Amino acid sequence: MKGLKFPHTPNTLVAFDTSDDAGAYQISNDIAIIQTVDFITPVLNDPYKFGQIAAANSLSDVFAMGAKVCTALNIVAYDSCHITKEMLNEILRGGLDKVIEAGGVVLGGHTIEDLEMKYGLSVTGIVHPDKIVRNNTIQPGDKIILTKPIGMGVITTGIKADMAPQSAIDKVAFHMSYLNKIASEIAMEIGVNAMTDVTGFGLLGHLFEMTNEKVSVHLDYDSIPIIEEAFELAETGLFPGGSYRNEKYYKPNVILDRKDCTQDQLMLLYDAQTSGGLMISIPGEKADKLLDKLKLAGLEWCCIIGEVSDSKERNIIIG
């Protein structure tokens, strides 16, 4: 969007300029609306699960801002000659179920003809203007918590290549359709400094977008939850194109500080995710409490993956 100017109004709270998860617009003293839109091409073959995943992915941006989901509109592009009405219905049923689970309603939508299937939602949420959680307000002394494992990019590409084992398909279907709602609510209850969801820029890309000129982040590779089957698929060369774009763009700020980490293992941290988890930056002294509560709520795969230090370098150091 080079050269385009988006004028702000006094009510504009969050817009394009900070690479945040969604836009925010204040409509009264105590209500801001959060707006986001996202749609994706099929990531697996089951239409109902695809609908669930596409919706969970779209809803996630609202949760990443610390907001509650209110309304959603379907966005559908499909090839009526090859996708049956029943399949389309299953996709929409999956999406509807996730919007209901998120506490929202579907008010309508729009469908167009397209050779490549696409589905997603435009979502509106609400939050108190003072409670909006930004993505780039992490502080020295914070710990970083990740609420879903990574590996979705290589595994979904592996599914397209018909090379992913069933165990991997089951794991990504489970995690990608899992709403970030509970994690967001618990984070808001305890109080966090910054939050985002891990999607197209990969773990390292989104983590870099969380940093600012006052901090660096130290990651502990062994603490990062990675779906086991992703390693084999990484070696096979099944990274989506976006993962390599992430590597090229974010590499200058990433320092690898351990010798036994292979290129494939490192590359998984750049892997573009679909419907990834929340990455939460929380004051160090509160991190264990948040982790315990997340695990108690059933998110036993959550981990503390790193910590934030005072530094002008704005680097991500992997140890």
- Shortest distance, CB of residue 234 to another protein, whole angstroms? 8
Number of residues in contact with another protein under rule CB under 8 A: 19
Q: Which is nearer to another protein, 254 or 308 (CB)?
A: 254
Least separation in angstroms between CB 56 and another protein? 23
158 contributes a contact to another protein by CB under 8 A: yes
What does the DSSP assignment read for 54-91?
HHHHHHHHHHHTT-EEEEEEEEEEE-TTTS-HHHHHHH
Return the number of the residue (18 or 45) whose C-beta is nearest another protein.
Answer: 45
* x/- map, 87-126, another protein, by CB under 8 A: ----------------------------------------
Applying CB under 8 A, among 160, 214, 286, 314 the residue interacting with another protein is 160
Q: Classify residue 259 as exposed, middle or buried by CB count within 10 Å of its CB (0-12, 13-18, 19+).
A: exposed
**CB-nearer residue toward another protein: 17 or 162:** 162
In whole angstroms, the minimum distance from the beta carbon of 313 to another protein comes to: 27
Q: Residues of 104-118 as b/e, b for ≥16 C-beta within 10 angstroms?
A: bebeebeeeeeeebe
Restricted to residues 128-157, the positions that interact with another protein (CB under 8 A) are 157
User: Which one, 69 or 272, has the nearer CB to another protein?
Assistant: 272
Least Å distance, CB 164 to another protein, is 10
- Beta strands across the sheet bearing 31-40: 12-14, 23-28, 31-40, 118-127, 68-78, 105-113
Contact 143, 282 (CB under 8 A): yes
Distance CA 315, CA 214 (A): 10
In sequence order, what are the residues at sequence separation of 6 or more whose Cβ sits closer than 8 angstroms to the Cβ of residue 4? none
**Measured from the CB atom, is 228 or 313 closer to another protein?**
228
The smaller minimum CB distance to another protein, of residues 245 and 314, is found at 245
Q: Closest distance between another protein and the C-beta of residue 156, in Å?
A: 10
Residue 145 and residue 142: Cα distance in Å, rounded? 10
**Residue whose CB is less far from another protein, 65 or 168:** 168
Nearer to another protein by C-beta: 61 or 271?
Answer: 271
Nearer Cβ to another protein (132/154): 154
Q: Nearest-5° angle of CA 27, CA 29, CA 34?
A: 40
Give the shortest CB-27-to-another protein separation in angstroms.
42
**CA 237-267-212 angle, 5° bins:** 150
Q: Which of 161, 165, 222, 298 binds another protein (CB under 8 A)?
A: 161
Task: Return the axis-axis angle of helices 166-177 and 152-160, rounded to nearest 10°.
Answer: 130
Q: What x-and-dash track marks residues 255-274 binding another protein by CB under 8 A? A: ---------x----------
CB neighbour list of residue 304: distance below 8 Å, 6 or more residues apart: 143, 144, 145, 223, 287, 288, 291
198-257 residues in contact with another protein (CB under 8 A) are 234-241, 243-245, 248
Q: Number of helices and strands (H, E) in the chain?
A: 10, 13
Q: Scanning residues 298 to 317, which ones bind another protein (CB under 8 A)?
A: none
For residues 107 and 72, is the Cβ–Cβ distance under 8 A? yes
Alpha-carbon distances of 183 from 209, 246, 294, 295, 300, rounded to whole Å: 20, 26, 6, 10, 11
Q: How far is the CB of 154 from another protein (least distance, A)?
A: 9
- For binding to another protein (CB under 8 A), which residues are involved? 157-158, 160-163, 234-241, 243-245, 248, 264
